[in-house]
């Protein structure tokens, strides 16, 4: 068997891909001396992103986490309020609840999308009826959750829906953009996302008054006075004009990036057709953005220790290829071990996905030849 050489240049999980337009917007900011926070790029980026998602208004912020924090505040969360959250997600989805001293209740995943299980959500909403203030649903790895069912349940139980679309920008559910289903919607432009502004995020809503309030809080809650006066607690959360310029240039290539991500996913799916693995699933009436391609190893192989995600990760790492474990579910995190966890029929779907899953290199600069080598490395783990 021919030896596979170590890559000289690292094959990344998902790194920024830049183009020429970013420089145009940045240069304009420098030429007009609008390098400080706010300015034309911020205003236009908000308008352009709101238009792309089909939402009325957007507030450009320093991060997706800041967007989630302000969404939690807009939902009226106070100390002791229950917020029902996706369990299989990154901690940034749920940490803002703690910023406002709320209490997270975690809902297990379903296998069709790996996202929040609507059946478990209804159990949680019934259990915490009258106590739950909001639901935070994340679209894992760019795959839309069962959003119609989740929206209907939030309306039935009169709770606010916050959609965490940080990973799913440009993904659609029945033709509608994710990041438009919640009363408050949050997206991220972190360096590893499908487009990046080197950081940053947005909170979007059809409630224009709510977005105005978010901008107010994000600018240190400065009252309308000629001096610095503050009647509420504020934050330094507003996106800078330079960062927004990068984002505007990236937005021009969003659909192109999504197309390349899908091509990577389909090559993996075809390359693994003879292996005892499955790729991250999605509903036929949705179009993910395929931000990260992920795989699950057959249960018996993992249980026996013959082939595990960690063995595959280390084999890839040896050849200078980055891969990562699936997010560790929130109910298994030491930080949140005391929180309630709602599941269906005693099955812990999120823990099973975490145990058997691996995020594969999904960088759109990865060549077909490089991906073929990655696929071959993984094949050899099963021999």
Q: What is the mean pLDDT of the chain?
A: 97
Identify the structural domains of the chain with CATH numbers, from first to last. Answer: 21-251 (3.40.640.10), 254-381 (3.90.1150.10)
Q: What pLDDT sits at residue 36?
A: 74
**Given a cut of 80, is residue 266 above it in pLDDT?**
yes
Parallel, antiparallel, or unpaired for β 184-188 and 57-61?
A: unpaired
pLDDT average, residue stretch 42-64? 98
DSSP conformational letter for 380: H
- Model confidence pLDDT, tens digit, residues 88-108: 999 999 999 999 999 999 999
**Given a cut of 80, is residue 37 above it in pLDDT?**
no
Q: What pLDDT sits at residue 110?
A: 98
Q: What pLDDT sits at residue 1?
A: 81
| pLDDT interval class at 290 (50, 70, 90) | very high
pLDDT average, residue stretch 215-219? 98
Contact present, 241 and 38 (Cβ < 8 Å): yes
Measured CA distances, 52 to 86, 169, 267, 303 (Å): 25, 10, 28, 45
Q: Which of 149, 160, 3, 158 is nearest to 76 (CA)?
A: 160
**Given a cut of 90, is residue 204 above it in pLDDT?**
yes
Question: Both tokens of residue 284?
Answer: 């036929």
Burial 231-245 (b: 16+ CB within 10 A, else e): eeeebebbbbbbbbb
Q: Is the pTM of this model over 0.85?
A: yes
Q: What pLDDT sits at residue 35?
A: 84
| pLDDT interval class at 239 (50, 70, 90) | very high
Contacts of 193 (CB under 8 A, 6+ apart): 14, 166, 167, 169, 291
Enumerate the H helices of the chain as residue ranges.
21-31, 40-53, 64-74, 95-99, 118-127, 147-156, 208-218, 241-251, 254-271, 299-304, 309-318, 349-356, 368-381
- Model confidence pLDDT, tens digit, residues 365-378: 999 999 999 999 99
pLDDT average, residue stretch 8-35? 95
**Given a cut of 80, is residue 324 above it in pLDDT?**
yes
């Amino acid at each position: 068997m021919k030896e596979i050489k170590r890559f000289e240049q690292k094959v990344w999980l998902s790194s920024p891909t830049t183009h020429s337009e970013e420089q145009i917007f940045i240069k304009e900011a420098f030429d007009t001396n609008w390098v400080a926070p706010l300015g034309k790029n911020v205003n236009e980026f908000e308008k352009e992103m709101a238009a792309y998602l089909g939402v009325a208004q957007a507030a450009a912020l320093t991060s997706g986490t800041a967007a989630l924090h302000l969404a939690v505040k807009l939902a009226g969360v106070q100390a002791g309020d229950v917020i029902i959250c996706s369990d299989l997600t990154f901690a940034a989805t749920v940490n803002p609840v703690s910023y406002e001293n709320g209490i997270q209740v975690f809902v297990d995943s379903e296998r069709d999308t790996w996202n929040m299980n609507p059946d478990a959500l209804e159990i949680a909403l019934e259990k915490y009826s009258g106590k739950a203030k909001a639901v935070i649903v994340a679209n894992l790895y760019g795959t839309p959750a069962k959003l119609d069912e989740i929206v209907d349940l939030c309306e039935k139980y009169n709770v606010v829906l916050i959609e965490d679309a940080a990973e799913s920008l440009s993904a659609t559910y029945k033709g509608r953009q994710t990041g438009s289903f919640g009363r408050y919607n949050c997206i991220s432009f972190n360096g590893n996302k499908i487009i990046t502004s080197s950081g940053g995020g947005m909170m979007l809503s059809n409630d224009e008054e709510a977005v105005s309030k978010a901008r107010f809080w994000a600018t240190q809650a400065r009252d309308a006075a000629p001096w610095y006066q503050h009647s509420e607690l504020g934050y330094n959360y507003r996106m800078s004009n330079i960062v927004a310029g990068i984002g505007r240039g990236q937005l021009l290539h969003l659909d192109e990036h999504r197309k390349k991500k899908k091509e990577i996913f389909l090559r993996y799916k075809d390359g693994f057709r003879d292996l005892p693995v499955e790729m991250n699933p999605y509903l036929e009436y949705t179009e993910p953005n395929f931000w990260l391609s992920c795989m699950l190893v057959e249960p018996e192989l993992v249980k026996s220790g013959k082939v595990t995600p960690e063995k595959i990760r280390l084999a890839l790492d040896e050849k200078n290829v980055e891969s990562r474990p699936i997010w560790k579910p929130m109910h298994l995190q030491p930080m949140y071990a005391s929180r309630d966890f709602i599941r269906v029929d005693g099955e812990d779907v999120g823990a099973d996905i975490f145990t058997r899953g691996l995020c594969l290199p999904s960088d759109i600069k990865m060549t077909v030849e490089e991906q073929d080598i990655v696929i071959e490395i993984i094949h050899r783990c099963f021999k």
